[in-house]
Structure 1
Amino acid sequence: MFARISGAALRAILVALLFATPSLLLPGFATGGTEIVVLLALVAAALTFAEYNSTFPSFIEFRDAPPLNRLRFVSLAVTVFALTLISKNSIEPSNLTTLFAGLGAALGNLMDFPYSPVRLATLMLPDHTPLSTVAAVRDSAGVAYVVALATVASFAFVIRILSWPVGNGAFNVWINLPLFDPTTGGDVVYRLQRDGRINVIIGVLLPFVIPALVQIASGMINPLILERPLTLIWTMSAWGFLPASMIIRGMAMLRVADLIEEKRRRAYANAEALQTA
């Protein structure tokens, strides 16, 4: 009981700190929005605590199948923290912010090749955008995309090498997939495979589609709002995190489908062995 409450409280505090990090490190740009940041942090913390303190699942998937959700959190936290320090370098430079700014510039230049998501992220900006804003978007997109790729690669390693999720014990589909109803819609394996492939495909396409949609909707959405540090941080963090999250969710569902199919094959083999005995 105490372990569950303390674990839920720790997760809630970490989530609240994640939401508050940019505003805490860039206080000069949080004027007028402090109340909103505090509200979002408190709401996110309350939802996290309620979910992890409950015995029965509600909406967070793979709650008892670490390290999937931990990878998601670390991915978003690293992206937000890195982009915050990069933005702070132009305001209050220090050795740490200069290091992250140099790393961001290197990753931005590395990933800025024709038809890459980073190149598309810069092309969505209007022609009259200042070069400093273009560079900031490129560097932020490069960092966010590299972190997303590292997250997907890490989860692939966990699946293939560490045999996730069976390496952590029994996998309860009801607890870890609370929004998935196994009793409707046909065969469970087929539905898991279909949903998993759809998530992977959408996750791969999102970094390419989002800049195109922003450019198409430039009449309603002004891309120059990315000149604001807080907007740039959260936009680029979401741009990198959401596709990676969808891809690893799809990979997890495909893995669960493979485990169910393998269990079925063993059950059929045992049944045939008993019949022929």
Structure 2
Amino acid sequence: MLSRLTGAILRAVLVVLLIATPSILLPGTNADTGQTIALVALIAAVFTVLEYQSSYPSLVEFRDAPPFNRVRFGALFITVFALTLILRGESQPSTMTQLAQAAGRSIGEVIDFPYSPVRLIVLMLPENASAFLIDRVRTAAGLSYLVSIMSLGIFVILLRLRGWPTRHKNFNVWVNLPTFDPTAGGDVVARLERDSQINLILGFLLPFVIPAFIKLASDFVDPISLSNDHTLIWTITAWAFLPASLLMRGIALSRVASMISEQRERANVAGQDGTVLAH
């Protein structure tokens, strides 16, 4: 019980640090923004403690099947921290911020080719956008997209090397998939495979669809102002992180479906062997 509570508190602290990183490192954060961030961080911390301290899951998937959530959180934190360093370097340059800016700018220029997600996110900007804004959006998009791709690759490698999710302990579907109801009807394996395919398709399409949707919506409502540092960080982070997260979830669901199918086959073979021995 104590160990579980300690782990829940540690996770809550990390979540608070993630949310507060831009306001801590960026100069000139106003009081209203700081209060909003503090409220969001407090709500996220309370939810994290309640979720991970409880024996019964509520919303967080694969809670008891590391490193799924650890890889996702790591990618999210690295993205937010790197983008914050890039923007901090515009007013308070240092060796670290200059390194982040140089890396982000180089990556953004390499990935910014026709029909690429980075090119689409740049084309999303208004026609009167300044060259400075275009450059900072390209830099942020390129770096965040690279982090998302690397996190996906790391997850796939760990999945193969560690035999995720069942090498060291049993996999509890109810704990790790609290939003999935195995009694809702239909074959469980077929439903898991269908959900996996949907997540994979959405994860692949979202980096292309989100900029197009925002561009179309800008004709009817005011476009998102990416000139604001906090807006830029969280918008670009969400644009890169959500598709990668969906792809990871699709791969994970496919792995769970395969695991259940393999267990069924072993049970059928064992049952057939038992029948033969009985005769």
The normalised TM-score by structure 1 is 0.98
- Look up the match of 2:198: 198
Determine helix, strand or coil for the equivalent of 1:129: coil
Shift of 1:161: 2.2
Q: Which residues in structure 2 correspond to 1:44-123 (within 5 Å)?
A: 44-123=44-123
Determine helix, strand or coil for the equivalent of 2:60: coil
Is 1:236 the counterpart of 2:236? The answer is yes
Is 1:184 the counterpart of 2:184? The answer is yes
Determine helix, strand or coil for the equivalent of 2:250: helix
Q: Which residues in structure 2 correspond to 1:204-243 (within 5 Å)?
A: 204-223=204-223, 225-243=225-243
Asked whether the equivalents of residues 129 and 224 of structure 1 are also in contact (C-alpha less than 8 Å), the reply is no
Amino acid at match of 2:214: V
Amino acid at match of 1:167: R
Instruction: Quote the Cα distance in structure 1 between the aligned partners of 2:30 and 2:79.
Output: 19
Amino acid at match of 1:91: S
Asked whether the equivalents of residues 203 and 245 of structure 1 are also in contact (C-alpha less than 8 Å), the reply is yes
The normalised TM-score by structure 2 is 0.97
Determine helix, strand or coil for the equivalent of 1:166: coil
Question: Deviations 1:118-152 (Å, cap 9, x if unpaired)?
Answer: 00000111121000100111111101111110111
Instruction: Quote the Cα distance in structure 1 between the aligned partners of 2:216 and 2:209.
Output: 11
Shift of 1:30: 3.5
Shift of 1:222: 3.6
CA gap of 1:254–1:271, structure 2 versus 1, over 3 A, is same
Instruction: Quote the Cα distance in structure 2 between the aligned partners of 1:32 and 1:160.
Output: 46
Question: Deviations 1:224-267 (Å, cap 9, x if unpaired)?
Answer: 60011111000001111111111101111000000000000111
Instruction: Quote the Cα distance in structure 1 between the aligned partners of 2:98 and 2:222.
Output: 29
Is 1:171 the counterpart of 2:171? The answer is yes
Instruction: Quote the Cα distance in structure 2 between the aligned partners of 1:167 and 1:77.
Output: 28
Is 1:150 the counterpart of 2:150? The answer is yes
Shift of 1:220: 4.1
Q: Which runs of 4+ in 1 moved over 2 A?
A: 29-32, 219-224
Instruction: Quote the Cα distance in structure 2 between the aligned partners of 1:158 and 1:76.
Output: 18
Q: Which residues in structure 2 correspond to 1:228-267 (within 5 Å)?
A: 228-267=228-267
- Structure 1: 5+ residue stretches without partners: none
Asked whether the equivalents of residues 104 and 143 of structure 2 are also in contact (C-alpha less than 8 Å), the reply is yes
Asked whether the equivalents of residues 23 and 34 of structure 1 are also in contact (C-alpha less than 8 Å), the reply is yes
- Structure 2: 5+ residue stretches without partners: none
Amino acid at match of 1:162: R
Shift of 1:34: 1.1
Is 1:10 the counterpart of 2:10? The answer is yes
Determine helix, strand or coil for the equivalent of 2:66: coil
- Across the aligned residues of Structure 1 and Structure 2, the Cα RMSD in angstroms comes to 1.1
Shift of 1:69: 0.4
- Look up the match of 1:26: 26
CA gap of 1:38–1:261, structure 2 versus 1, over 3 A, is same
Asked whether the equivalents of residues 29 and 229 of structure 1 are also in contact (C-alpha less than 8 Å), the reply is no
Counting matched residue pairs gives: 277
Shift of 1:168: 3.4
Determine helix, strand or coil for the equivalent of 2:162: coil
Instruction: Quote the Cα distance in structure 2 between the aligned partners of 1:29 and 1:5.
Output: 33
Asked whether the equivalents of residues 65 and 168 of structure 1 are also in contact (C-alpha less than 8 Å), the reply is no
Instruction: Quote the Cα distance in structure 2 between the aligned partners of 1:30 and 1:249.
Output: 37
Larger deviation, residues 267-276 vs 59-68: 267-276
Shift of 1:223: 3.8
Asked whether the equivalents of residues 121 and 141 of structure 1 are also in contact (C-alpha less than 8 Å), the reply is yes
Asked whether the equivalents of residues 27 and 88 of structure 2 are also in contact (C-alpha less than 8 Å), the reply is no
* Aligned sequence identity (%): 50
Instruction: Quote the Cα distance in structure 1 between the aligned partners of 2:17 and 2:222.
Output: 29
Instruction: Quote the Cα distance in structure 2 between the aligned partners of 1:83 and 1:89.
Output: 10
Amino acid at match of 1:108: G
